[in-house]
Amino acid sequence: GESVGLHLPTLSVQEGDNSIINCAYSNSASDYFIWYKQESGKGPQFIIDIRSNMDKRQGQRVTVLLNKTVKHLSLQIAATQPGDSAVYFCAENLGGAQKLVFGQGTRLTINP
Amino acid sequence: KAGVTQTPRYLIKTRGQQVTLSCSPISGHRSVSWYQQTPGQGLQFLFEYFSETQRNKGNFPGRFSGRQFSNSRSEMNVSTLELGDSALYLCASSLEATGQAEAFFGQGTRLTVV
């Protein structure tokens, strides 16, 4: 069915450590995946995306991994900073139109 | 360039009333999507417009409607408001409507129904 799930609702990490946020998706036909960051009182902010013909994509301090065999998506944040504290959502796009299906989100907390 | 602009930022309405929310996409973007965000249901897709045509609709009752104008600005309307309609309503714009183009979100409109 149309659902994107996250393994953990909360994640706490020490400042400077690497963070890994996981996501499982259910629709094997999904061809586009996005990670969003949402800070309190703001709309979701695009972090990084990946298409189904790729298994890894890197950005500035972030890496997204896609494992289509087990329908798993992960976001890795290197050297986590206080400004990374937020709720992170994975989303998948089903089909050829702008219709995102979001996971429930993981709240990332950075400990000093 | 300016981002996605949603107005108003906050609204308080009474049950049974109707409300209209506005979204101005990024200049040049022709696809506009609307989402409802609540603590219980998370982010849920409402509908998407491209070139003034509704291309996709989520699983919401007919009380939720929208439209897009020739300048790509979009409005959504909720009639006969219910308490459960209290939510953050988010608009996203995209350059393309292919489903593989980055969607940029606005700050949202916080609707409270009392």
Residues A62-74: tens digit of each pLDDT: 999 999 999 999 9
Model confidence band, residue B87 (pLDDT cutoffs 50, 70, 90): very high
Q: Which pLDDT score is estimated for B1?
A: 60
Note whether B42 contacts A99, CB cutoff 8 Å: no
Q: Which pLDDT score is estimated for A2?
A: 38
Checking B40-48 for CB contacts under 8 A at 24+ apart, the result is B42/A89, B42/A102, B42/A103, B42/A104, B42/A105, B43/A44, B43/A89, B43/A91, B43/A100, B43/A102, B43/B90, B44/A102, B45/A99, B45/A100, B45/A101, B46/B76, B46/B89, B47/B76, B48/A97, B48/A98, B48/A99, B48/B97
Question: How many CB atoms sit inside 10 A of residue B31's CB?
Answer: 25
Note whether A99 contacts B104, CB cutoff 8 Å: no
Q: Which of B38, B32, B83 has the alpha carbon at shortest distance from B54?
A: B32
Among chain B residues, the shortest Cα distance to A97 is held by B99
Among chain A residues, the shortest Cα distance to B41 is held by A104
**Mean pLDDT of all residues in chain B?**
93
On chain A, the residues whose CB falls within 8 A of the CB of B42 are 89, 102-105
Residue range A35-57, pLDDT digits in tens: 999 999 899 999 999 999 999 99
In the predicted model, is pLDDT for residue A104 greater than 50? yes
Q: Minimal Cα–Cα distance from A29 to chain B, Å?
A: 13
B-facing residues of A in 45-104 (CB < 8 A) are 45-46, 49, 51, 89, 91, 93-104
